[in-house]
């Protein structure tokens, strides 16, 4: 939790399921022992503490205290001088994200739980009926047989048929997988795990157990390669049904209760069963306990590792096993894994969501700094439970949260059991219309966003950025936690409070143009910007290009796509990346990279359009360039030296050509 500027904070690196996100909460689900020193007119320097052990950070103005529960400590100092250089170098060490499947950039719908196949299909069908674009539907724990991982329960009698019905209407299914394996001698996964001695032990050599959703569980020791291989192959039952993505939760690992705690909470829960309605009450009885010295892991050489040394990579190792499962059962296809916990470098394997927030305005705002922080730490593909997980959402909150969620790299609506439903239609027509407008915008911006993902893949620089990326020498920007950048050229200023129809917006270096109306704003000023409920202020940096396409129900619904290039200013250069969005061919040159350049003089515009790389058949065909705020007197427009078709549509000058015109 907390703001982007960490001065004055103390932070612990111990992956922990701490579900009530209060402002001072620490530790949280994920540990990335990395921070960046930034001050005006000085080079940015990153510090990475390369230890998976528990560590502790105290950051003051001029003293930084770092303690690590380990013998010896390895610290890397990473010189910028620009902040993006620091992140490029850091991710060069710990790894960068792969190109995700294109569909995972679409809107995703989840809930704990859509617990029957019919219920899940109904949600998907309603999306299509109401023309709300959506690519993914999540199955939370209730698809399983008594919460036993790698099983399908009776509410999903024919998973293959269910998944294929979802596919027919353009939906992918992602299933949750928790690490706790129910102790049950009649359960194949527990038995096969036991047969290879897969589970972690306490220091006396006894299987360590704890209570999670299925009741009493054992926990795989992912430190061992054979255990990871067993875990990978256990995914077959999900991939055989056609599931396309995996969601790793509770992988800090989280235990809802230890054995001793279970004895005490039995009274609240009754009969020792987990009753979700009473969960909050029972959970509040205990703070998370530290099992750091009590549990012992063993690697393939038989070396013993106390839990505190490896807890922070438990989820990371699980992610390695899961990525192997994708290789085994979906060869040649890009994996999609979502995780809650992780360690530095987790982005190589997974997208990260920020866990169990609540349907509070305070959390809508807090998620900005949390996701920015993850991005600065190398994790680009991040997002939050849109609408809030715990507590009851409401129409206004969901509308505002969806407007903002469009510009988070990972865009999923998710809510907890026992809370009111928060699908886009849950709060009536007026709210649904707003939500639909913004989810549609996300799909229109797909070409732009996909290109931003590609940059993150190439150089590790986050997709969602703090404003000081524009000017790291301006200290005023260090404390802005309620505006953010998407890529190089979009500034987003969400409304983060109820009953609020305007906000003040700080405009950083350069001139920025309101995407809604073309109005120009000058640098280093604060403006009062209107934002009725159906609008979020979005500004485009002058002299940049925004790439759009036509609305669609799901990514790649149509074989061919039109490309719109919106030019904000009289000159500039923009790049567009595309590939098949599905296979690994892009690694072998199977992609296209286009360069658009605009220059202007008194006589008119000179445009150039180049294919810097052409290695994929491509989906884009026709191109329309829209010049926002173009001067009326345009005499000459040349594309690659030849005259092109151009006309005014209202205030916008349009120029039309085709992909095949690229030189
Ligand atoms: C955890 C997850 C949440 C999920 C729930 C049930 O609280 O963070 O997203 O819905 O478990 O699986």
Residues 330-346: tens digit of each pLDDT: 999 999 999 999 999 99
For residue 240, give the DSSP letter: H
Give pLDDT, residue 262: 72
Strand-pair category, 342-343 with 351-353: unpaired
The CATH number for 563's domain is: 2.60.40.1180
Return the residue whose CA atom lies nearest to atom 4 of ligand 1.
112
Which atom of ligand 1 is closest in space to residue 112's alpha carbon? Answer: 10
Retrieve residue 324's tokens.
């192997």
Closest CA to 353 of 314, 393, 315, 400: 315
Q: How far is the CA of 236 from the centre of ligand 1 (A)?
A: 23
Residue 385 and residue 388: Cα distance in Å, rounded?
A: 5
Give pLDDT, residue 284: 39
Which atom of ligand 1 is closest in space to residue 19's alpha carbon? Answer: 7
Q: How far is the CA of 626 from the centre of ligand 1 (A)?
A: 44
> Please, which residues have CB within 8 angstroms of residue 242's CB and are 6 or more apart in sequence?
159, 160, 163, 164, 167, 173
Burial class (CB in 10 A: 0-12, 13-18, 19+), 320: middle
Give pLDDT, residue 87: 98
User: Token pair 């009649």 is at which residue?
Assistant: 186
Q: How far is the CA of 235 from the centre of ligand 1 (A)?
A: 20
Average pLDDT along the chain: 94
Closest CA to 467 of 479, 484, 482: 484
Residue 419 and residue 389: Cα distance in Å, rounded?
A: 8
Which atom of ligand 1 is closest in space to residue 176's alpha carbon? Answer: 12
586 occurs within a structural domain: yes
Give pLDDT, residue 602: 75
CA atoms within 13 A on the CB side of 522: 1
Which atom of ligand 1 is closest in space to residue 385's alpha carbon? Answer: 9
Residues in the ligand 1 pocket, defined by CB under 6 Å: 112, 140-141, 176, 249, 340, 355-356, 414
Strand-pair category, 351-353 with 337-339: parallel
Encode pLDDT of 366-402 as tens digits.
999 999 999 999 999 999 999 999 999 999 999 999 9
Question: What is the mean pLDDT, run by run of 10 residues, along the chain of 663 residues?
Answer: 94 89 91 97 97 92 89 93 98 98 98 97 98 98 97 98 98 98 97 97 90 92 98 98 98 82 64 48 43 84 93 97 98 98 98 98 98 98 98 98 98 96 98 98 98 98 98 97 97 98 98 97 98 98 98 97 96 97 98 96 89 97 94 83 90 94 95
The beta strand positions in 193-336, using DSSP E, are 201-202, 209-212, 215-218, 245-248, 295-298, 304-306
Q: How far is the CA of 144 from the centre of ligand 1 (A)?
A: 14
Return the residue whose CA atom lies nearest to atom 10 of ligand 1.
112
Residue 630 and residue 81: Cα distance in Å, rounded?
A: 37
Return the residue whose CA atom lies nearest to atom 7 of ligand 1.
356
Q: How far is the CA of 625 from the centre of ligand 1 (A)?
A: 44
Residue 317 and residue 31: Cα distance in Å, rounded?
A: 14
Q: Which domain holds residue 572?
A: 559-661
Retrieve residue 177's tokens.
């997988």
Closest CA to 451 of 584, 598, 597, 563: 563
Return the residue whose CA atom lies nearest to atom 5 of ligand 1.
112
Q: Is residue 403 helix, strand or coil?
A: helix
600 occurs within a structural domain: yes
Mutation choice for ligand 1 from 176, 178, 413, CB with most ligand atoms inside 8 A: 176
650 occurs within a structural domain: yes
622 occurs within a structural domain: yes
91 occurs within a structural domain: no
Domain count along the chain:
1
Catalytic residues: 249, 252, 356
Give pLDDT, residue 469: 98
Q: How far is the CA of 356 from the centre of ligand 1 (A)?
A: 7
Residue 232 and residue 320: Cα distance in Å, rounded?
A: 9
Cis geometry, peptide bond prior to residue 27 (ω within 30 degrees of 0): yes
Is 433 in contact with 397 (CB distance < 8 Å)? no
552 occurs within a structural domain: no
Give pLDDT, residue 295: 87
- Name the β-bridge partners of 548: 564
Residue 646 and residue 567: Cα distance in Å, rounded?
A: 14
Give pLDDT, residue 645: 86
Residue 417 and residue 249: Cα distance in Å, rounded?
A: 15
Strand-pair category, 604-614 with 636-639: parallel
Is 138 in contact with 412 (CB distance < 8 Å)? yes
Cis geometry, peptide bond prior to residue 113 (ω within 30 degrees of 0): yes
Mutation choice for ligand 1 from 356, 384, 410, 412, CB with most ligand atoms inside 8 A: 356
Mutation choice for ligand 1 from 213, 250, 276, 354, CB with most ligand atoms inside 8 A: 250
Provide φ and ψ at 99, rounded to 5°.
-65, 125
294 occurs within a structural domain: no
- Measured in whole angstroms, how far is the alpha carbon of residue 179 from the centre of its chain? 21
203 occurs within a structural domain: no
> Please, which residues have CB within 8 angstroms of residue 507's CB and are 6 or more apart in sequence?
491, 521, 522, 523, 524, 525, 526, 527, 539
Give pLDDT, residue 286: 35
Give pLDDT, residue 272: 46
Retrieve residue 600's tokens.
């202007």
């Amino acid at each position: 939790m907390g703001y982007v500027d960490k001065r004055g904070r103390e932070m612990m690196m111990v992956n922990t399921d701490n579900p009530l996100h209060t402002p001072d909460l620490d530790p949280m689900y994920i540990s990335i022992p990395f921070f960046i020193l930034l001050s005006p007119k000085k080079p940015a320097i990153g510090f990475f503490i390369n230890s998976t052990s528990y560590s502790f950070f105290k950051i003051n103005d001029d003293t930084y205290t770092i303690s690590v529960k380990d013998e010896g400590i390895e610290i890397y100092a990473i010189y910028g001088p620009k902040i993006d250089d620091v992140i490029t170098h850091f991710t060069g060490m710990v790894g960068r994200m792969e190109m995700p499947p294109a569909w995972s950039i679409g809107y995703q719908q989840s809930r704990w739980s859509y617990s029957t196949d019919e219920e899940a299909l109904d949600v998907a069908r309603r999306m299509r009926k109401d023309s709300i674009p959506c690519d993914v539907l999540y199955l939370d724990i209730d698809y399983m047989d008594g919460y036993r991982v790698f099983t399908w329960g009776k509410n999903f009698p024919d998973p293959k048929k269910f998944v294929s019905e979802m596919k027919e209407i353009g939906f992918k299914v992602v299933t949750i997988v928790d690490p706790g394996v129910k102790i049950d001698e009649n359960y194949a996964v527990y038995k096969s795990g036991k047969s290879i001695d897969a589970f972690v032990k306490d220091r006396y050599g006894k299987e360590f157990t704890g209570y999670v959703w299925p009741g009493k569980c054992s926990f795989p020791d992912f430190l061992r390669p054979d255990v990871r291989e067993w875990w990978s192959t256990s995914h077959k039952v999900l991939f055989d049904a056609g599931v396309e993505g995996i969601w790793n939760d509770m992988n800090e690992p989280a235990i809802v209760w230890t054995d001793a705690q279970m004895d005490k909470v039995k009274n609240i829960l009754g009969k020792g069963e987990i009753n979700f309605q009473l969960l909050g009450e029972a959970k509040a009885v205990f703070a998370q306990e530290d099992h750091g010295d009590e549990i012992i892991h063993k690697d393939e050489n038989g070396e013993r590792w106390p839990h505190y040394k490896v807890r922070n990579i438990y989820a990371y190792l699980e992610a390695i096993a899961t990525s192997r499962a994708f290789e085994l059962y979906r060869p040649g296809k890009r994996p999609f894994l979502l995780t809650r916990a992780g360690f530095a470098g987790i982005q190589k394997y997974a997208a990260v969501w920020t866990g169990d927030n609540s349907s509070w305005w305070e959390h809508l705002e807090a998620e900005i700094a949390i996701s920015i922080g993850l991005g600065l730490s190398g994790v680009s593909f991040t997002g939050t439970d849109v609408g809030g997980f715990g507590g009851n959402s409401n129409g206004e909150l969901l509308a505002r949260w969806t407007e903002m969620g469009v510009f988070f790299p990972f865009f999923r609506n998710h809510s907890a059991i026992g809370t009111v439903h928060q699908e886009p239609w849950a709060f009536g027509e007026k709210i649904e219309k707003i939500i639909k407008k913004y989810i549609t915008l996300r799909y229109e911006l797909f070409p732009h966003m996909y290109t931003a993902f590609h940059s993150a893949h190439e150089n590790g620089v986050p997709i969602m950025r703090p404003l000081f990326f524009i000017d790291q020498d301006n200290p005023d920007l260090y404390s802005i936690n309620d505006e953010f950048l998407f890529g190089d050229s979009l500034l987003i200023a969400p409304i983060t409070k109820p009953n609020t129809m305007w906000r003040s917006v700080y405009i950083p270096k350069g001139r920025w143009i309101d995407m809604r109306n073309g109005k120009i704003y000058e640098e280093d000023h604060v403006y009062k910007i209107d934002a009725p409920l159906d609008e979020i202020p979005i500004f485009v940096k002058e002299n940049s290009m925004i790439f759009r396409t036509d609305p669609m129900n799901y990514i790649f619904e149509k074989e061919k796509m039109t490309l719109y290039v919106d030019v904000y200013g009289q000159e500039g250069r923009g790049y567009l990346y595309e590939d098949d969005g599905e296979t690994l061919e892009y690694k072998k040159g199977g992609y296209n990279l286009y360069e658009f350049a605009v220059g202007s003089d008194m006589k008119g515009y000179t445009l150039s359009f180049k294919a810097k790389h052409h290695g994929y058949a491509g989906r884009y065909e026709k191109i329309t360039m829209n010049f926002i705020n173009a001067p009326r007197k345009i005499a000459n427009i040349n594309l690659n030296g030849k005259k092109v078709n151009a006309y005014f549509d209202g205030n916008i000058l349009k120029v039309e050509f085709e992909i095949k015109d690229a030189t």
